[in-house]
Structure 1
Amino acid sequence: MQATGFKLFSFSGETKILHLTWFAFFLSFLVWFNHAPLLGAMRETFGLSDQQIKTLLILNVALTIPARIIIGMLVDAFGPRRIYSGLLFVSAFLCFGFAIADSYEQLALMRFLLGFAGAGFVIGIRMITEWYPAKQAGIAQGIYGGWGNFGSAGAALILPSLAVAFGGDDGWRYAIGSTGVLALIYSAVYFFSTSDTPKGSTYFKPKRNGALEITSPGDFFLYLVMNIPLYAALAVLAWKLSPANLGMLSEPVVDIIYAILLSLYIFQTIRIYQINGHVFKKPVPEIERYKFKQVAVLDLAYMVTFGSELAVVSMLPLFFQDTFDLSIVKAGLIASVFAGLNLVMRPAGGWISDKFGRKRSLVIIMAGLAVGYLLMSYIDAGWSVPAAVAVVIFCSIFVNAGNGAVFAVIPLVKRRLTGQIAGMAGAFGNVGGVAFLTVLSFVAPNVFFLVIGGAAVVVLVAVLFFLDEPEGHMTEVLPDGTVQMIKVS
């Protein structure tokens, strides 16, 4: 790393920002996934059914879908320093609310709201983009994402033992509450220790707020199509809570939610046209253009890589606990391997993309991911635990490298829109989480893994035929008309 000018073992300049930001992300994920390794204890406390547990898993990733879109817009408009600090502050109190819940309904509501914490990832993407050049974008984003994403593995490693240390029936509550305390303290640390850009640099903001800017009529319609899964995932959640399934919401309430989602989609479509209608009247200057198909393919790729990680991390501790009759602590430790490899493989995926090409790397990684999930679909009680762990490690290598490879490309699409593009890709990650966890609620785990592998094959084809390798420069125009060229290859 030192040979390429990348300084990791330092705490000044851009490296200081990297370390402070990945730790903010770590805490946001620690809070977001603090429930997963403690589901067994919650099941005993509340007498939860399997369907109620699976619903909690879906609720946990649902709100993050719109939250990442909204946070992406706020980051582009107001800067990552203020938005990250604010997100950690709010998440801390939501965490406290989950820890003191005394009914399943309260538990479900607070778990849904805690999906807000998962939007933290988007903020750091813009922050790291401001501080690192394109030739180091992959590895810097990979370290940020990989080390921060370790928060979910950290929860699996630390919280079961912490709950046991606190002791009693409420040990899990104190363990979860402690993660909220950490987030609250660090919200102040991050605010007073960072800045949005290096001194003297320009923070490019969108020309208009409220929707992503696109640059051609074809991109306009593709944008509308790509918004549909974001609303469909929330509609699936409402259906899951309807009388036809868990019965947590009445039929009229579910119908109202459907109507609201449809109204929001129509409103967003109108807003998109208000911001981008000019593309139908006259061509956008070539210097301002970018290809939205890049965003669409990356959205789908992240839906499979991070979406599957969300789903698998949520269910894997209980899967090992039930399949191999392990204790909550042992199951949590073993399952932590899947997300834990993010620490190494997400940066590795970014570095591989920097070194060997963005598209080529993503193609190979998606192929490996498909094979990994195929192998996981064969795991059952007849396997030895070491063999099962070996397959989990193999699959995790490609899943986490894929996360890094996707976000090695995203900052190179359009600088001033990076927060929104990252937000949309991140939201698709959650769409994948909701979709795959919904599949899990209907099928056995082996079929669940097989479905993810099939989705990976579809995305592999999309990457192969529709993703362009970033080359040359992207341009940004300052308010005074000055053109700034930003190297992407």
Structure 2
Amino acid sequence: MKTTKKKATTLKLTDIKSMPIRTFWITSIAFFICFFAWFGIVPFMPDVVKDLGLTPDQKWNSIILAVTGTVFARLLIGKLCDKYGPRLCYTYLLILGAIPVIAIGFVQTPMQFLICRLFIGFIGASFVITQFHTSIMFAPNIVGTANATSAGWGNLGGGANRLGMPLIAAAVISFGVADEIAWRYSMVIAGVIAMLMGAVYYFFTQDTPEGNFAQLKKEGKMPSFKKDEESFMSVLKDYRVWILFIVYAACFGMELTVYGTMDDYLQNTFGLTRSMAGNLVLSFALMNIFARTLGGFFGDRFGKLKGLRGRVLFLTMILAAEGLMLSIFSTTTSLAVGMVFLIAFSLTVQMAEGATFSVVPFVNKKAIGSISGIVGAGGNVGAFLAAMFLKSKSAFAETNALAANANLGEEAMKAAQSAAASSAVSSGYFMIGGFVVISALTTLAIKFSTADEKLVEAEMKGDLALTGGDK
């Protein structure tokens, strides 16, 4: 097996003989499979509710548990990556994470379902390993683009499952399985695919261009466990890490929340059918094919022009634009105008995610995994808090609307409830947009030393000279 000994300086996708490029493809596919399995149950929720008799509270709690599990897993997996390397971490995450995915196909009670949803959420930590692995495989001039592209293509799994899982279910039904239990077989299949991907990751990747962590530590080329601990403590004390934690809550966290509530909002506000609203939201999720890559690309470009400070300035601008687009969208009453700003929000939020991880690899090169884990967890914390915020506003408004129109008939009550939910979520989106703009301003506090700037400049020149820009 031929491997390159240096970081890749270009994203030459056809050069699979290069270890960085091969790793890019494998980690992107693994991430896609993890997101596909993580959200795989979503298209089947009506069948699950009917099969298991879930209450509305249990259904909502299952969503919250899936996000909660990911927060803790992301915090843990980053430190494990720094210690054991991404190859082993991804292998174990895929194989062990597949167990609850398969197990959910055999649940018989709501409690069993909730427990499986909690543990399935752990595979959302795959994002951290993906970002860590591409960060140490690609040189500074291209690392933002590589990180953003691998993450964006992986995120597609969270949208592609809306199309893919029903197709798997249809295939299962064609073999004579009853419609109402096809979701169980589909989840088992998704779990088996994830488990097989774990084996692929183990045999076809390595931790760094120079070799695996175990080998490098044996040769004295990596720090000891004690130094790992010291490095982790320095991460926790670094204010820049916590600013990026907030930033990722303001981009990825808001994307998850907005897309999770957008179906109902489009129906209540613009009178769209559920099918039409769902297809629109899916199309925005599919923008990850290119939008997140753009964020990393421009982060790298600004880095080339203005150094590390340039990366931060671009992040500030694109994050502020995201907040403005969401706030303006929340005030629109025309579907045509609303779609323009919703598309703009989708573009800027995904670019902000890519721009965030064009900065992360340069905060502390000795603890990229730990930093990626903390920042990645910020996204899920943001999603959790924003979802609870919107849920509380909407529930309060809907309850009051139903009480005020209780004597006017069922149709009038439904109309009042819909209008109340629309108004509550609209004001919620506006306030969330304001939070995002404020978060953007906090990024200006992120500073890098002159020594950091010179180190990156030297690394870029060294890698470009040694690899000729090919690998």
- Relative to the length of structure 2, the TM-score reads 0.77
Who is 2:370 aligned against? Answer: 420
Distance in 2 separating the partners of 1:150 and 1:190: 19
Distance in 1 separating the partners of 2:461 and 2:287: 28
Counterpart amino acid of residue 146 in structure 1: G
Give the 5 Å matches for 1:331-370: 331-356=277-302, 357-370=310-323
Counterpart amino acid of residue 200 in structure 2: V
Who is 2:431 aligned against? Answer: 451
Q: Offset of 1:470 from its aligned partner?
A: 7.4
Q: Give the direction of change, closer, same or farther, for the CA distance of 1:150–1:79 in structure 2 (3 Å limit).
A: same
Q: Paired residues, what number? A: 401
Who is 2:187 aligned against? Answer: 176
Contact 1:474-1:488 at 8 Å conserved across structures? no
Q: Offset of 1:139 from its aligned partner?
A: 0.5
Q: Offset of 1:98 from its aligned partner?
A: 1.9
Q: Give the direction of change, closer, same or farther, for the CA distance of 1:84–1:45 in structure 2 (3 Å limit).
A: same
Contact 1:32-1:114 at 8 Å conserved across structures? yes
Q: Give the direction of change, closer, same or farther, for the CA distance of 1:174–1:373 in structure 2 (3 Å limit).
A: farther
**Residues 261-280 of structure 1: per-residue CA shift (max 9 Å, x gap):** xxxxxxxxxxxxxxxxxxxx
Distance in 2 separating the partners of 1:93 and 1:355: 42
Distance in 2 separating the partners of 1:129 and 1:120: 14
Distance in 1 separating the partners of 2:354 and 2:92: 26
Larger radius of gyration: 2
- Kindly indicate whether residue 447 of structure 2 is the aligned counterpart of residue 468 of structure 1: yes
Contact 1:65-1:431 at 8 Å conserved across structures? yes
Distance in 1 separating the partners of 2:54 and 2:228: 43
Contact 2:64-2:384 at 8 Å conserved across structures? yes
Q: What are structure 2's unaligned runs of at least 5 residues?
A: 1-8, 174-178, 303-309, 395-424, 463-471
Counterpart amino acid of residue 410 in structure 1: V
**Residues 350-384 of structure 1: per-residue CA shift (max 9 Å, x gap):** 010110221121111111111222244347xx754
Q: Give the direction of change, closer, same or farther, for the CA distance of 1:475–1:360 in structure 2 (3 Å limit).
A: closer
Root mean square deviation, CA, Å: 3.0
Contact 2:232-2:370 at 8 Å conserved across structures? no
162-171 or 5-14, which deviates more: 162-171
Who is 2:124 aligned against? Answer: 118
Q: Judging by fraction of residues, say which structure has more helix.
A: 2
Distance in 2 separating the partners of 1:311 and 1:211: 36
Contact 2:324-2:434 at 8 Å conserved across structures? no
Q: Give the direction of change, closer, same or farther, for the CA distance of 1:210–1:473 in structure 2 (3 Å limit).
A: closer
Distance in 1 separating the partners of 2:461 and 2:58: 47
Who is 1:213 aligned against? Answer: 232
Contact 1:125-1:422 at 8 Å conserved across structures? yes
Q: Give the direction of change, closer, same or farther, for the CA distance of 1:450–1:98 in structure 2 (3 Å limit).
A: farther
- Kindly indicate whether residue 19 of structure 2 is the aligned counterpart of residue 39 of structure 1: no
Distance in 2 separating the partners of 1:472 and 1:488: 15
Q: Give the direction of change, closer, same or farther, for the CA distance of 1:317–1:178 in structure 2 (3 Å limit).
A: farther
Who is 1:157 aligned against? Answer: 163
Distance in 2 separating the partners of 1:411 and 1:207: 22
SS at match of 1:134: coil
Who is 1:396 aligned against? Answer: 346
Q: Offset of 1:164 from its aligned partner?
A: 4.9
Q: Give the direction of change, closer, same or farther, for the CA distance of 1:185–1:397 in structure 2 (3 Å limit).
A: same
Q: In structure 1, which of residues 193, 196, 201 is the aligned counterpart of residue 204 of structure 2?
A: 193
Q: Offset of 1:114 from its aligned partner?
A: 1.1
Counterpart amino acid of residue 302 in structure 1: Y
Distance in 2 separating the partners of 1:20 and 1:41: 33
Distance in 1 separating the partners of 2:343 and 2:291: 11
**Residues 91-142 of structure 1: per-residue CA shift (max 9 Å, x gap):** 1111012232222222211111111101111112221122111111110111
Distance in 2 separating the partners of 1:441 and 1:88: 32
Counterpart amino acid of residue 60 in structure 2: K
- Kindly indicate whether residue 13 of structure 2 is the aligned counterpart of residue 8 of structure 1: yes
- Kindly indicate whether residue 71 of structure 2 is the aligned counterpart of residue 65 of structure 1: yes
SS at match of 2:392: coil
Distance in 2 separating the partners of 1:361 and 1:114: 35
Q: Give the direction of change, closer, same or farther, for the CA distance of 1:441–1:200 in structure 2 (3 Å limit).
A: closer
Who is 1:54 aligned against? Answer: 60
Contact 2:47-2:183 at 8 Å conserved across structures? yes
Contact 1:305-1:403 at 8 Å conserved across structures? yes
Who is 1:140 aligned against? Answer: 146
Contact 2:231-2:366 at 8 Å conserved across structures? no
Q: Give the direction of change, closer, same or farther, for the CA distance of 1:124–1:388 in structure 2 (3 Å limit).
A: same
Who is 1:130 aligned against? Answer: 136
SS at match of 1:442: helix
Q: Offset of 1:40 from its aligned partner?
A: 3.4
Q: In structure 2, which of residues 305, 311, 326 is the aligned counterpart of residue 373 of structure 1?
A: 326
Q: What are structure 1's unaligned runs of at least 5 residues?
A: 224-291, 477-484
Who is 1:410 aligned against? Answer: 360
Counterpart amino acid of residue 312 in structure 2: K
Who is 2:382 aligned against? Answer: 432
Who is 2:409 aligned against? Answer: none
Q: Offset of 1:302 from its aligned partner?
A: 0.5
Who is 1:267 aligned against? Answer: none
Distance in 1 separating the partners of 2:261 and 2:36: 16
Give the 5 Å matches for 1:282-293: 292-293=238-239
**Residues 125-169 of structure 1: per-residue CA shift (max 9 Å, x gap):** 221122111111110111111111111111123224444554511
- Relative to the length of structure 1, the TM-score reads 0.74
Q: Give the direction of change, closer, same or farther, for the CA distance of 1:474–1:313 in structure 2 (3 Å limit).
A: same
Who is 2:469 aligned against? Answer: none
Q: Give the direction of change, closer, same or farther, for the CA distance of 1:314–1:200 in structure 2 (3 Å limit).
A: same
Contact 1:358-1:408 at 8 Å conserved across structures? yes
SS at match of 1:11: coil
Distance in 1 separating the partners of 2:426 and 2:282: 19
